């Protein structure tokens, strides 16, 4: 059975329209979504990580850098002093008290950002990093 030409034209037009709308929406969300603040700030920079204006300001810079930090810096097995030398002394918080070091990263990544994201460390009996992970509150 042959499909009429007008049906093929309508089908192609509908598919094209869907592609344009989805592509436009994706571009819009990339430019205005929660991670849009990270443009140009994705590489780990220890000075920026420690800078309170960037950490607690609109950029919440740590959330932009944490993936690069984890990828480039072997954290497991480091002493507490080595972690603090790299990342600074963490601020006190009531969150995640069963961890030894807790760093606020900023709003959680994703389209619906209602929680905060944190980098947490658990030290072993010798004071070395036994575990670290990204968590949300």
Annotated domain spans of the chain: 1-32, 41-136
Mean pLDDT by 10 residues, the chain (137 residues): 81 81 49 56 90 90 94 96 97 93 91 88 98 95
Model pTM?
0.72
pLDDT of residue 33: 45
Tokens of 19: 């592609």
In the block, tokens 């006190």 appear at 92
Alpha carbon distance 37, 61 (integer Å): 8
Tell me, what's the pLDDT at 99?
Answer: 97
């Amino acid at each position: 059975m042959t499909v009429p030409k007008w049906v093929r034209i309508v089908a192609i037009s509908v598919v094209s329209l869907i592609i344009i709308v989805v592509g436009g929406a994706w571009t819009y969300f990339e430019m205005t979504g929660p991670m849009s603040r990270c443009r140009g700030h994705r590489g780990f920079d220890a000075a920026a990580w420690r800078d309170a204006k960037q950490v607690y300001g609109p950029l919440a810079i740590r959330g932009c850098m944490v993936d690069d930090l984890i990828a480039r810096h072997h954290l497991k097995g480091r002493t507490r002093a080595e972690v603090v030398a790299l990342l600074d002394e963490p601020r006190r918080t009531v969150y995640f008290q069963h961890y030894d070091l807790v760093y606020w990263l900023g709003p959680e990544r994703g389209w619906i950002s209602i929680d905060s994201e944190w980098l947490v460390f658990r030290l072993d009996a010798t004071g070395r990093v036994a575990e670290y992970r990204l968590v949300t509150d």
